[in-house]
Chains A and B, each alone.
Chain A
Amino acid sequence: MIGLGPLNDLRRALDLTARRLRGDYDEDEWGFDPEFAAAAEPLLSFLYDRWWRVTATGAEHVPREGRALLVANHAGVLPWDAAMMATALRRGGIARGGGRVRFLVLDWAFGLPWVAPAIRRAGGVPASPYNALRLLRQDHLVMVFPEGSKGVGKPWSERYRLQRFGRGGFVELALRTGAPIVPVAVVGSEEIYPKLGEIPGLARLLGAPYFPITPTFPLLGPFGAIPLPSRWRIAFGEPIDLSALGPEAADDRATVLEVAEEVRERIQSMVYDNLIERQGAFR
């Protein structure tokens, strides 16, 4: 029997490669590619266990079935935080691959070569309320980062201070679709690319939301994209059910802003709690 195992593995790998080269694989209407996502799992597991040593709590708060809106704090253009949240949910048995989890990504990332198709195949979708609405109606778990581009370009000194949650668009989505809001605090993600300064002129030239200066970028060129190995904690909070307000409440600005602020404060206090629990960023 010795030797057959690896041989079969090799055969399977070759079959898979041949099949992919024939274009004989699935993609859903969003461009999500289940085989690509599965192939990325070992890398994500490495990042989760070894690189960032993630501790996740409260995954049981995320509904096992049906739609939900996961709202989290955010930093950086690349959606590492979304990838780690999805890994935490997979580990917690909430979403075993299969594309139940989708995440909204700042439009700008979809203008980047190679990054754009990779994010899309892994389940990323350009941040637009239309996309979020459609995903929720299809009963996905949708991750949103309402700090938007204000969160993306946070300087090191502002880390973990949540920016304004826009105009509360995510609350409207939850109200319209009856999806519960699950607040999520991600601690660690705001230290992976410490932004010391920026070059606004270059950002304008490149059409980027900002051009950061970090200890490794642009000094090390593309290697500057390697995130620092901070220690992470991801906390999923208790879901907030808004269905009692009804879908009409989505048109009520006062309610929407009030709920948005409430969610922001919940996430902010969860972030502070977990910063204390973590006891040091790079330990």
Chain B
Amino acid sequence: MTTRRVLITGVSGPLGARLATRLAADPGVEHVVGIDTRRPPAPLADRITFVEADLTAGELAPILQVAAPHVVIHHDITQFPEPGRSRRHLHDLNVIGTLQVLAACSELPGLRQLVVRSAAAIYGSAPDAPAFFTEDLARSATLRTRFQRDIAELERLVAAFARRHPAVVCTTLRLQPVIGTTLDSPIMSLFRSPVVPTFLGFDPRLQLLLDEDALGAIVAAVNVPVRGPVNVAADGTVSLARMLRRLGKRALPIAAPVYAPTVRALARAGVVPPIDDDVVSYLRHGRGVDTTRMRAELRFVPTRTTVEAIDAVAARLRGEREGTAAA
């Protein structure tokens, strides 16, 4: 395999940094360039070329010209506010950021591959939804939440880019919610909170993805070029009730009509973690995706099933707690 130069956006986030580390160690990768507004963790900074840049500011083209990557991984797509990234900026980051990345990519003659980290949230969550969304069903999904609209919009931009640049293989990975101890997402806050607000009388099917497998899927997409959207998720689903029982958490059932205001009030009081609007319908109706393409074309098989991923994260969290208690 020829050695390649890889450029990663959002390299300083918890998953981005691990992705860069993994690719830097890959013999098929000659060099890794990382872009972010935040500084990467120290050990990573020595192994890659880090460029501090804002994707939304339109300063990417010269950076990409110099880096001349063969593969661009657009990983800087954010569902939830993080330190230094407020809620107001998420739409800009997701949609304008993607627009700028694509504009810069269109001027790279040596570009062979574009991998975009998208999300299965594009399908939404509804009682009448298919139990396993296939990739072609994104078109018929009703766009209800902010992040779902962001994802749909940026995927349209990527699809248009792919049509105009047939020489570049564009892969869109639609990841189910990723869980891991280093992540700070609403799903993970459920893992950390002793009490979890649930919908009274509902028990959604959830399908998750362990952080290591999320990285594995992105690396697979770098090594096996596949065109178009690919769902990425662990095997099997788990009901929220069963997940909470395995985690040893108490469920706090709240009637659907008063769910959102009650959770907001309880979150202000510090009883439960705040639950993003994007997650509310997910916690009521859940979501599953079909992973035939992932297995057959991307030739990627996650190492853990949904239940195994939950157990693995739960064990690590227990380890962390005991570690801090001992220290």
- In the complex, residue of chain A having the shortest beta-carbon distance to the beta carbon of B134: A130
Given A29-B237, A126-B129, the answer on whether A117 and B201 have CB atoms closer than 8 Å is: yes
Which residues of B lie under 8 Å from residue A24 when comparing CB positions?
Answer: 246
Least Cβ–Cβ distance between B196 and chain A, in angstroms? 13
Which residues of B lie under 8 Å from residue A131 when comparing CB positions?
Answer: 130-132
Which residues of B lie under 8 Å from residue A116 when comparing CB positions?
Answer: 127, 201-203
Q: Count the A residues whose beta carbon is within 8 Å of the partner chain — how many? A: 27
Which residues of A lie under 8 Å from residue B237 when comparing CB positions?
Answer: 27, 29-31
- In the complex, residue of chain A having the shortest beta-carbon distance to the beta carbon of B133: A130
A23 touches B131 (CB 8 A): no
Residue from B128, B134, B202, B239 within 8 A of A27 (CB atoms): B239
Least Cβ–Cβ distance between B252 and chain A, in angstroms? 15
- In the complex, residue of chain A having the shortest beta-carbon distance to the beta carbon of B249: A23
A117 to B285, CA, bound (A): 10
Least Cβ–Cβ distance between A225 and chain B, in angstroms? 14
B245 touches A22 (CB 8 A): yes
Interface string of B213-243 (1 = CB under 8 A from A): 0000000000000000000000111110111
Interface string of A1-35 (1 = CB under 8 A from B): 00000000000000000001111110111110000
Which residues of B lie under 8 Å from residue A29 when comparing CB positions?
Answer: 131-132, 205, 235-237, 288
A134 touches B245 (CB 8 A): no
B130 touches A130 (CB 8 A): yes
A111 to B202, CA, bound (A): 9
A30 touches B131 (CB 8 A): yes
B160 at the interface (CB under 8 A from A): no
Which residues of A lie under 8 Å from residue B203 when comparing CB positions?
Answer: 31, 116-117, 120
A142 at the interface (CB under 8 A from B): no
B242 touches A27 (CB 8 A): yes
- In the complex, residue of chain A having the shortest beta-carbon distance to the beta carbon of B305: A29
B244 touches A23 (CB 8 A): yes
A108 to B128, CA, bound (A): 7
Least Cβ–Cβ distance between A173 and chain B, in angstroms? 14
A113 at the interface (CB under 8 A from B): yes
A23 touches B245 (CB 8 A): yes
A108 to B242, CA, bound (A): 24
A20 to B241, CA, bound (A): 10
Considering the complex, which residues of chain B in the window 80-138 have a beta carbon less than 8 Å from any beta carbon of chain A?
Answer: 127-132, 134, 137
Which residues of A lie under 8 Å from residue B290 when comparing CB positions?
Answer: 134
A120 to B202, CA, bound (A): 11
B266 at the interface (CB under 8 A from A): no
B256 at the interface (CB under 8 A from A): yes
Which residues of A lie under 8 Å from residue B202 when comparing CB positions?
Answer: 113, 116-117
Given A22-B245, A23-B246, A116-B202, the answer on whether A126 and B137 have CB atoms closer than 8 Å is: no
B167 at the interface (CB under 8 A from A): no
Residue from B127, B201, B239 within 8 A of A114 (CB atoms): B201
Q: Which residues of B contact A (CB under 8 A)?
A: 127-132, 134, 137, 199-203, 205, 235-239, 241-247, 256, 288, 290
Supply 17 further A-B pairs (C-beta < 8 A) apart from A110-B127, A117-B201, A128-B130. A20-B245, A27-B237, A27-B238, A27-B239, A29-B132, A29-B236, A29-B237, A29-B288, A108-B127, A116-B201, A117-B239, A117-B241, A120-B205, A126-B129, A126-B131, A131-B130, A134-B290
The 9 closest A-B pairs by CB, nearest first: A113-B201, A23-B245, A107-B128, A23-B246, A130-B130, A117-B203, A110-B127, A111-B127, A114-B201
Q: List 9 A-B contacts (CB under 8 A).
A: A23-B244, A111-B127, A126-B127, A126-B130, A130-B131, A130-B132, A130-B134, A131-B131, A134-B131
